[in-house]
């Protein structure tokens, strides 16, 4: 029984350590994130969501969002894929 508890604790510890990005609420205040090389844009529900996706992109080795603006993203740029 102790071994099961240790294994579960280790698994939970690893899963929490992997997600260092902030947790966001669902407040509706649309913002746009533009990638570092201006290759793509990402529209999210609020600024916090854009920051979270940028953090996840950094973890995956993708360009982060260097500019976050209020409102929807322009449609003339390709959309960034969600990591």
Domain range annotation of the chain: 2-70
Predicted local confidence at residue 2, as pLDDT: 52
| Residue in the structure block whose two tokens are 């990402």 | 42
Residue 67 to residues 2, 7, 37, 72: CA-CA distances in angstroms?
49, 42, 11, 13
Residue 25 to residues 45, 47, 75: CA-CA distances in angstroms?
9, 10, 26
Predicted local confidence at residue 5, as pLDDT: 45
pLDDT tens readout for residues 21-69? 999 999 999 999 999 878 999 999 999 999 999 999 999 999 999 999 9
Residue 72 to residues 5, 8, 35, 46, 59: CA-CA distances in angstroms?
47, 42, 15, 10, 25
2-27: average pLDDT: 62
């Amino acid at each position: 029984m102790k071994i099961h508890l240790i294994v579960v604790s280790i698994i939970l510890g690893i899963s929490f350590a992997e997600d260092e990005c902030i947790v966001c609420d669902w407040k509706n205040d649309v913002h746009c994130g533009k990638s570092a090389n201006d290759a793509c844009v990402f529209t999210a529900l609020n600024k916090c969501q854009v920051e979270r996706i940028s953090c996840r992109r950094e973890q995956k080795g993708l360009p982060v969002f260097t500019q976050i603006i209020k409102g929807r993203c322009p449609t003339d740029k390709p959309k960034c894929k969600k990591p």
